[in-house]
A and B are shown apart, each in its own frame.
Chain A
Amino acid sequence: MRDHITTLTDIALPSLVLNSPLMDNSDLDRLLSVGVDAHCRERSGSFVQVDHQVLHAGAAEPGLEVLSTPEALKRYDWLKDYWWQIVPAGKDEFTKYAQDHTHNGYFIRALPGAKINYPLQACLYLAREGLTQCVHNIVIVEEGAELNIITGCASGTKAKSGAHIGISEFYVRKGAKLNFTMIHSWAEDVEVRPRTGTVVEEGGTFISNYICTHPVRLLQMYPVSYLRGEGAVARYQSILVAPPGSKMDVGSRVVLDAPATKSEIITRTVTTGGKIISRGHPVGQVPGVKAHLECRGLMLAPQGLIHAIPELEARAEGVELSHEAAVGKIAHEEIEYLMARGLSEEDAVSTIVRGFLNVDIPGLPPALRDEIDRAVSATREQGA
């Protein structure tokens, strides 16, 4: 098994990417913008897929496996028991389509007790114009293991239109921890439909961070976590910025199905002219579970739409579910307050938007901090 795991010390993504006929320098820049470190520094492993083809899959830390899913299915007979188990194949027309049209995707597994130091990076990239990319990903964090994954999904400068359907099934075992950060950077005419399901066992923690600040024709996803073991935790944090012409329909659902499970769903949305539907839906199935939903939206343009649809569903006595939602424009009191401290009106607005989007995401690469800053500057131009 060991011999299949490539070490990353001598792998530099630029050569891999640039050797691919599909990619050029501008594609490399796009990869960097979604958090991919080209030299794999401070990364425990990398997975790069361009269109249908896997360019690279390898782990650099012991206790970690990174493979393409077809290869993993060949290697592990048991993996078929994980396949289409959390996301049902017949869920909708897109999962049905993906059943017959899937090319690759990643298989990532942290072995029992492995505490993986550095984040693992995975990138699914759409390079060819008009392509529909279908991937099926499996992540397994075995008992007591800890893993931090940063995935960047992006389309290249040549792919103005296309589609991405990503099936992802995550298994967080007893006492394990998965911190999953996904950054999307698509194009004006790309349609994106991730289908993600997570099962968290006893004492496990799943943290999902999602950031999309770029134009996309349609982004539609409603990932769901099933907290099946006592004390399991799921936390979703999403940042959405919709420029004119974009539509984002994004939610998070958590089914609290065991005693003492907890969940928090936090969403920050900003429109500079695009449409955002922001959903959230914790379902309390057993007594005493707790969940909180927080959805805040900022309208920075006269046109555009933010439609917050929070749902709370309690199915047992003593379930504690709460939500707070607030959608509006920036309060003039806040702008005047900062102006009284010496900031111009424009800088005051930027400072407030930056603070608004300042959800604390641990391990967020500096490039992404820059990306959020870039989005703030862009909202300033678009919102003006």
Chain B
Amino acid sequence: MLVLENFNVTLDGKHILHNINLTIKAGETHVLFGPNGHGKSTLLNAIMGLPRYRVSGRCCFKGQDITSLSVDERARLGIGLMFQRPPTIRGLSLRNILKICARNDIDIDTLASQLKLRTFLERDVNDGFSGGELKRSELLQLLTQQPDLALIDEPESGVDLENIGLIGSALNLLLEKEKPRYQGSDCQLKHSRHKAGLIITHTGHILNFVEADVGHVLYEGRLACTGHPREILAFIQQKGYSECVRCLV
């Protein structure tokens, strides 16, 4: 679904990401570990095509080179981004931005109730929302947008314990976790999971709620390690990032 080849990103003249090569197949969920400030959000924003991020190399989505496409073109092709710091837009209600997002006929009220945001629908989007409310609002927008590739930036940060399960189930819905992964037989194809995700997690806490298939460590702008997400997490928790990437530097 997504293929990055020699993907380099500069932001305000600073070279942030170096020669990233990454493949995410349909139905897969990848998680991205890494210390703060090492380029995790930059990678997501650059895949979304935000214009401040200058890119070289290739970014292909569903077999099409999208390196030169604009943000809205990528969104319409099926890429969705959960913003880490979404802006407030005055005079635009959450309900109205959901109508903008909605691909199909979607029952906005029911979805909003599931994410405990029903009473927020008529408020200006993101205006005065708490950290956890922002995360739920972002997920609600993605659930109406129904992207094929969801780019999720730190879904658990700022979320209290009570609501983290809610975030988890929203992510599972977004990523079609109720469907089986495609195992190769044709009869399974149309019933199997299609949606893919790339989730940034700083603490790994979200892995208690969402199953992931592949984990990566992004360290100093390079993809330093790829493997089983729980094994990587356990190693980082024991030894720290610098030790974790020693084998590769």
Q: Counting CB contacts under 8 A, is B91 at the interface?
A: yes
Q: Which of A340, A344, A358, A359 contacts B81 (CB 8 A)?
A: A340
B window 69-128: CB within 8 A of A: 70-72, 75-76, 80-81, 83, 86-87, 89-92, 97, 100-101, 124
Q: Which of B75, B87, B91, B124 contacts A341 (CB 8 A)?
A: B75
A355 and B75 in contact (CB under 8 A), knowing A340-B80, A340-B81? no
Are A338 and B89 in contact (CB-based, < 8 A)?
A: yes
**Among A160-168, A178-186, A328-336, which stretch is in contact with chain B?**
A328-336
Kindly report which residue of chain B lies nearest to residue A354, judged by CB atoms.
B91
Q: Counting CB contacts under 8 A, is A339 at the interface?
A: yes
Kindly report which residue of chain B lies nearest to residue A268, judged by CB atoms.
B91
Are B75 and A333 in contact (CB-based, < 8 A)?
A: no
Q: Report the number of A-B residue pairs with Cβ-Cβ less than 8 Å.
A: 66
Q: Tell me which residues across on chain A come within 8 A of B48, comparing CB atoms.
A: 340
A window 309-356: CB within 8 A of B: 331-334, 336-345, 348, 351-352, 354-356
Q: Tell me which residues across on chain A come within 8 A of B71, comparing CB atoms.
A: 336, 339-340
Are A355 and B100 in contact (CB-based, < 8 A)?
A: no
Q: Which of A296, A332, A342, A352 contacts B89 (CB 8 A)?
A: A352
Say how far B81's CB is from chain A's closest CB, in angstroms: 5
Q: Counting CB contacts under 8 A, is B51 at the interface?
A: yes
Q: Tell me which residues across on chain B come within 8 A of A344, comparing CB atoms.
A: 72
A338 and B81 in contact (CB under 8 A), knowing A354-B91, A356-B91? no
Contact with A along B199-230 (1 / 0, CB 8 A): 00000000000000000000000000000000
Q: Tell me which residues across on chain A come within 8 A of B141, comparing CB atoms.
A: 341
Q: Tell me which residues across on chain B come within 8 A of A355, comparing CB atoms.
A: 89-92, 124
Are B90 and A341 in contact (CB-based, < 8 A)?
A: no
Kindly state the interface size class of chain A when it binds its partner: 20 to 34
A337 and B87 in contact (CB under 8 A), knowing A344-B72, A355-B92? yes
* A101 CA to B55 CA, complexed, in Å: 69
20 additional contacts (CB under 8 A) given A358-B91, A359-B91: A331-B87, A336-B71, A337-B83, A338-B89, A338-B100, A339-B71, A339-B75, A340-B71, A341-B100, A342-B72, A342-B75, A342-B145, A344-B72, A351-B92, A351-B100, A352-B92, A354-B91, A355-B91, A355-B92, A356-B90
Residues of chain B touching chain A, judged by Cβ–Cβ distance below 8 Å, are 48, 50-52, 70-72, 75-76, 80-81, 83, 86-87, 89-92, 97, 100-101, 124, 141, 145
Q: Which 9 residue pairs across A and B have the least CB separation, nearest first?
A: A355-B91, A358-B91, A355-B92, A339-B71, A339-B72, A342-B75, A333-B87, A341-B101, A334-B87
Residues of chain A touching chain B, judged by Cβ–Cβ distance below 8 Å, are 296, 331-334, 336-345, 348, 351-352, 354-359
